[in-house]
Amino acid sequence: MDDPAIRKAQRRFLGLSASALAVVAAAVVLVSQHVAEEEARRDAASRATGIAHGVAGPFVDERVRDGSPRALAHLSRVLDARIAEGGLTHVVLWSTDGRILWADTGSLIGQRSTPSSGAIEALRTMDSVVHLPGEREEAAEQREYGEESQLEVYVGIRDADGVPLVFEAYLPPDRIAVDRAAVLPQLLTVGLGSLLLFQLALVPIAWLLVRRVDDAQRARHRMLTQSAATWGHQRRVLAQDLHDGVIQDLAAIGYGLSAIEARVSEEPDLGNITTRLREAVGHAEEALRTMVLDLIPPDLGGDGLALAVEDLGQRPRAAGLDVTIDVPDQLPSSETTLRLAYQVVREGLRNVDKHATASCVTVRVVEHESGLLVEVVDDGRGPVADGGTAPAHGHGLALLGSALVDAGGWLRLEPAEGGGTALRAGVPLLTDTGPEAWEGAGVAETVSPGAES
């Protein structure tokens, strides 16, 4: 499978697969961060709530609220031990009026501050409120600690006397990293593993489809090449038959009429008849000789296409048309591709000669993306609009358009800019392994028999 189009499709499949894996990996990383944060939030709330309800609440009473040193000292011994065991870094107990009843930093005890929104919410719901790093509000005790990266937990509780208060605790942020490290491998294994298995399951199917497409293109290319070869052979046979048969007979008739004309010169009426017959036979012989030249496919290799197009331009030049030809001497293409380009030019010039009533025509063949762009543009009356009177039509363009579409190209007959008619064709580059995809502008289309012959 050396066809460039097949390799391009394979690269596109692999690239899309890699992109999908990268997108999923990025999504998994983001999801793992979110899961780790939520897990850290639940863990912080659980630990702070346990200490708040199991330790702090039962040991706070009226003496602690009144600031008794002995009561505060006893509460400190209990909470300091549990703070160390519970993985907390700081604890603050608030009254409902914004006074700090106890803190592990003794200088804060007795101070007053406006309760934060987290403390107010905890008192309202008598539940826990967790703020991750970046969600915290700056308050007096937080400035004292100076650790903005910690998790902050507020828990609404009641003390031993049933009085509401707020338990505020701080936890180190490493819990988020620990939870993320535990969650990320699991998510990556599930997400990327599933996608990778799906991709591996698709690979043999994709390669099978690629092989089938490649085989189909090879078969189509062989059919097109054989059709072109058969077409050329049949034209040669027909040309040979016409040359050896009808043309020779017409030549003989012409010689005979010339001899008769010389012998009946004294009969004016009979002489005029034989003269007209001889001229008609001469015109028919010349037309058939021209047809024979058209039927014999020229050699288009090397600069053959440029020379062949120049030969095609001789007849319209002899008829008085100004013919401009722009065809490179060397075009890197196969015989089949050049043959199709030649047919487009020949059919276009034939239509100009028959139908266009033009004064000038331009023929151009250029390389364009994955093939050749062929243009035959004249300044004649242009394509007949709907409702107009069309000349006698044939099927030349329709058959040529079908051949181009079968090869992967396109053919259009359209008004030229500034007036006239433009016949344009995209001829695909046909290689030894099959036709490459034509990437010219527009879709492949044919010209209906009602356009021009």
DSSP letter for 88, please: -
| E strand or H helix that includes residue 240 | helix 174-242
| Other CB atoms within 10 A of residue 230 CB | 10
Q: How far is CA 17 from the centre of its chain?
A: 14
pLDDT of residue 271: 64
Give the pLDDT band (50/70/90) at residue 356: low
User: CB-based contacts of 149: which residues, under 8 Å, 6+ apart?
Assistant: 133, 173
| E strand or H helix that includes residue 61 | none
pLDDT of residue 262: 67
Q: Considering only CA atoms, which of 80, 77, 84 is closest in space to residue 171?
A: 84
Cα separation, 168 vs 150, whole angstroms:
12
| pTM of the complete model | 0.44
In single-letter form, the type of residue at position 401 comes to G
Give me the domains of the chain, ranges plus CATH numbers. 4-172 (3.30.450.20), 299-453 (3.30.565.10)
The answer to whether 305 touches 364, Cβ cutoff 8 Å, is no
Q: Where are the alpha helices (H) located in 243-334, listed in sequence order?
A: 248-263, 268-295, 304-312, 314-318
DSSP string, 313-324: THHHHHTT-EEE
Cβ burial, residue 4 (10 Å; 0-12/13-18/19+)? middle
DSSP letter for 137, please: P
Contacts 24+ apart (CB under 8 A), 90-94: 90/141, 90/145, 90/150, 90/169, 90/170, 91/51, 91/56, 91/167, 91/168, 91/169, 91/170, 92/141, 92/168, 92/169, 93/56, 93/60, 93/165, 93/166, 93/167, 93/168, 94/119, 94/165, 94/166, 94/168
Cα separation, 210 vs 207, whole angstroms:
5
Q: Residue 265 phi/psi, 5° resolution?
A: -65, -25
pLDDT tens string 6-56: 677 777 777 777 787 778 777 777 777 777 777 778 888 888 898 899 889
Q: How far is CA 95 from the centre of its chain?
A: 64
pLDDT tens string 198-231: 777 777 877 787 778 777 777 777 776 666 666 6
Give the pLDDT band (50/70/90) at residue 319: confident
Integer Rg of the chain from CA:
46
Cβ burial, residue 44 (10 Å; 0-12/13-18/19+)? buried
pLDDT of residue 160: 92
Mean pLDDT over residues 123-150, rounded?
Answer: 71
Among 118-127, 315-324, 440-449, the range scoring the smallest mean pLDDT is 440-449
pLDDT of residue 38: 79
pLDDT at 78 over 80: yes
pLDDT tens string 137-164: 655 445 455 456 788 899 999 999 999 9
pLDDT of residue 441: 36
Q: Considering only CA atoms, which of 309, 419, 313 is closest in space to residue 374?
A: 309
Q: Considering only CA atoms, which of 132, 58, 133, 142 is closest in space to residue 103?
A: 142
Among 168-182, 293-307, 310-324, 382-396, the range scoring the smallest mean pLDDT is 382-396
pLDDT at 88 over 70: yes
Query: 400: which 2 tokens?
Result: 């040529």
Give the pLDDT band (50/70/90) at residue 126: very high
Cα separation, 172 vs 48, whole angstroms:
12
